Amino acid sequence: MFLSRRNTGLVLAPLLALLVWWFATGLPYEARIVATIMVFCLVFWMTEVIPLSMTAFLGVLLAVLVGVAQIETAFQNLGHPIILLFIGSFLLARSMTRHGLDRRIALFILSQSYFQKSLFRLFLGFSLVSYVLSMWVSNSVTVAMLLPLMLGVTKLVCKQEDKERDSTVLFLLGIAYSASIGGVSTIIGSPPNLIGVNYLAQQGIKIDFLQWMLLALPISLTVYGGMLLYMYSYLNKAAYDKRTVEAYVEERQQKRESLKKGEKVTMGVFILAVILWLAPGVFNLLGLEEAYTFMSTYFAESTVAVLAALLLFLIPPGKENNGEGTITSEDLLRIDWDTILLFGGGMALGQLVVSSGLADIIGRGITTFIDPEQQVLLVFSLVFLVLMLTEVSSNTAIAITFVPIIIGVLQGLQLPLLYPVLGVVVACSFAFMLPVATPPNAIVYGSKQVPIANMARTGLLLNILGAVVTTLFILLYMMVF
């Protein structure tokens, strides 16, 4: 069909880019070029004409061809330490999936009698697994792992009548939303978090793993609590048969073997990585300056991630492994290279927005319409704008594009950067209305069990909740700290 999403992008991208070039005559040459390229890429990202990572590379290549970037430095972000953090954390997640540790954790939670007493408590068990795992494991991996188990349980406890079918929809939406909400809690939980941390570092603002958790976790827990209250209002009234769930869990547990060495190695390496990630922040809080400096220098987040991955390659998972490690070269091929490459190419584009002066120009332009004293309106507007834009494009692409612009706005208003940027980055993961907004949304929509109208209706309420909660916490941080 001619008016497909892809064909629409192929037409709109050059057309809008030409319009920007035509009307932005007042901008300096480099800023005008970068603005044109960014609009072109933004349309390609929204319509997914080509893979997201390749769109980022296309933008950088265009910048090189027109002379606003040098080929020697244009792609240097592919060697950025955060790329190593991505690779290491993805390999750790892959080891969990390969050896079944993620499914064992899910079944352990569901086997507890507390979660078997009502339909809402059963949902709570699934959503807790999704929420906690997504702090440390890719959101998409978490939801993909839970989806088959979820579908199996809901077939038993949810009838095919309209009311009960809504329960199945709420279960599926719940694990997707829990993964997105949980992912904002740690630096490695979601790609936009890493993007925000890197942009802040470029402005001389260093934030470590524990500091991020202390700021983001309260926001995450509050939105998660709001989501649970919404689900409770529906699921608590639904019919439920506890015995069918008990039988299902018992059947699955009987098929499970005892804890294998691969699972033990993965869990041990995972715990080691978490301890090393948190250690610098703990030392900083305790005032142990030398220990903090040592850990920050020699055990940075990216170093720890690579160390964890190397340990998984080195340590064998048992005698039957034929001399291979807990993960192998096959697992290296299975991680999310599109996100990794998108980050590298996208950060290069974001850097061009700053170096060309475009971010500063847009920031100064916006400041003429905004009163710096109206901080509530400013923070809410920035958070809600980014949140709604994420509904129609990758949250990673939106973070790459808009965080440097928002930094320019904040600098123009002479406002502190850390907390508003944190709010905007968190908002990138709080898009719940459409399948294209986040990978978890897309995965549960792909099950064919979730009508898009249900996702949009439920997601709109959570979008508003996410925007309001994020704004309130950011304003609180700005007043207190």
pLDDT value of residue 109: 73
* pLDDT at 182 > cutoff 90: yes
Give the pair of three-digit tokens for residue 231.
């689900």
| Mean confidence (pLDDT) of the chain | 83
Q: Please name the residue ranges forming H helices in 134-241.
A: 139-157, 162-183, 191-202, 209-235
| Top-confidence residue, 145 or 119 | 119
pLDDT value of residue 167: 81
CA angle, 310 then 316 then 321, to 5°: 130
- Kindly state the average pLDDT of the residues 301-309: 88
Q: What is the Cβ-side half-sphere exposure of residue 389, based on CA atoms within 13 angstroms? A: 22
pLDDT value of residue 213: 93
Q: How far is CA 52 from CA 300, 336, 441, in A?
A: 28, 12, 17
In tens, the pLDDT along 412-423 reads 778 888 999 999
Stretch (H or E) spanning 329: helix 329-334
pLDDT value of residue 137: 76
Give the pair of three-digit tokens for residue 64.
């090189």
Give the pair of three-digit tokens for residue 100.
């079944």
Which of 145, 162, 69, 72 has the alpha carbon at shortest distance from 109? 145
Residue 185: pLDDT band by 50, 70, 90 thresholds? Answer: very high
- Determine the Cα–Cα distance for residues 342 and 340; give it in Å rounded to an integer: 5
Q: What is the pTM of this model?
A: 0.77
| Top-confidence residue, 353 or 63 | 63
- Kindly state the average pLDDT of the residues 359-378: 73
* pLDDT at 332 > cutoff 90: no
| Top-confidence residue, 263 or 149 | 263
Residue 20: pLDDT band by 50, 70, 90 thresholds? Answer: very high
In tens, the pLDDT along 343-353 reads 777 777 777 87
Sign of CA dihedral 126, 130, 131, 133: positive
- Report the 10 Å Cβ neighbour count for 255: 7
pLDDT value of residue 453: 80
Q: Is the CB of residue 342 less than 8 Å from the CB of residue 396?
A: yes
In tens, the pLDDT along 39-48 reads 898 888 778 7
Q: What is the SS3 assignment for 382-410?
A: HHHHHHHHHCCCCHHHHHHHHHHHHHHHH
Among 2-11, 98-107, 360-369, whose mean pLDDT is lowest?
A: 360-369
- Determine the Cα–Cα distance for residues 267 and 254; give it in Å rounded to an integer: 22
* pLDDT at 476 > cutoff 90: yes
Residue 397: pLDDT band by 50, 70, 90 thresholds? Answer: confident
pLDDT value of residue 163: 45
pLDDT value of residue 164: 41
Burial class (CB in 10 A: 0-12, 13-18, 19+), 8: middle
In tens, the pLDDT along 259-301 reads 788 888 998 998 898 898 888 888 887 888 888 889 888 888 7
pLDDT value of residue 80: 74
- Determine the Cα–Cα distance for residues 343 and 389; give it in Å rounded to an integer: 18
* pLDDT at 214 > cutoff 90: yes
pLDDT value of residue 240: 72
In tens, the pLDDT along 74-132 reads 777 777 777 787 788 788 878 887 887 767 776 777 778 888 888 888 889 889 989 99
* pLDDT at 470 > cutoff 90: yes
- Kindly state the average pLDDT of the residues 436-454: 78
Burial class (CB in 10 A: 0-12, 13-18, 19+), 450: buried
Q: Determine phi and psi for 447, rounding to 5 degrees.
A: -75, -10
| Top-confidence residue, 326 or 390 | 326
Highest averaged pLDDT of the listed ranges 136-145, 182-191, 336-345: 182-191
Q: What is the CA radius of gyration of the chain?
A: 23
